[in-house]
Amino acid sequence: MSSTDHIGLLVRAFNAAWDGYSFLSRNGCVSKSVARPLLSEFLVRKFREGIHDEPSLAAAGLKFLFSLEDKQDKPIDFPSWGLHLENASARFIPIGRVQLNPSRR
């Protein structure tokens, strides 16, 4: 198998995995800009590990995309900014009110 055949195989497996993933509209989908580069790296790694048939690569890629959703659900570790209530200040701002007369049209 030549280098162009390898690339063609990887491209077809990538497209099959991505089409299967993006076809399903779900709330937990990983963004395109994050998922696509990770998917391509994953498929190349699987190819180097010895998976050389398109259906197996596509299925592994689809499974990988679903696994990214699981990682996305983990809580975000926000930095501690050292904010304390005793240091907070607030002021009330008067809000202008408009009176409507429903009898006038």
57 vs 95: which has the higher pLDDT? 57
103 vs 44: which has the higher pLDDT? 44
Asked if residue 49 has pLDDT above 70, the reply is yes
- pTM score, whole prediction: 0.63
How far apart CA 48 and CA 41 sit, in angstroms, is: 11
Count CB atoms within 10 A of the CB of residue 42. 20
Question: Are 54 and 12 a contacting pair, CB within 8 Å?
Answer: yes
78 vs 84: which has the higher pLDDT? 84
Q: Sign of the C-alpha dihedral, residues 7, 13, 16, 20?
A: negative
Residue 88's pLDDT band (boundaries 50, 70, 90)? low
Asked if residue 96 has pLDDT above 70, the reply is yes
pLDDT given at position 20: 87
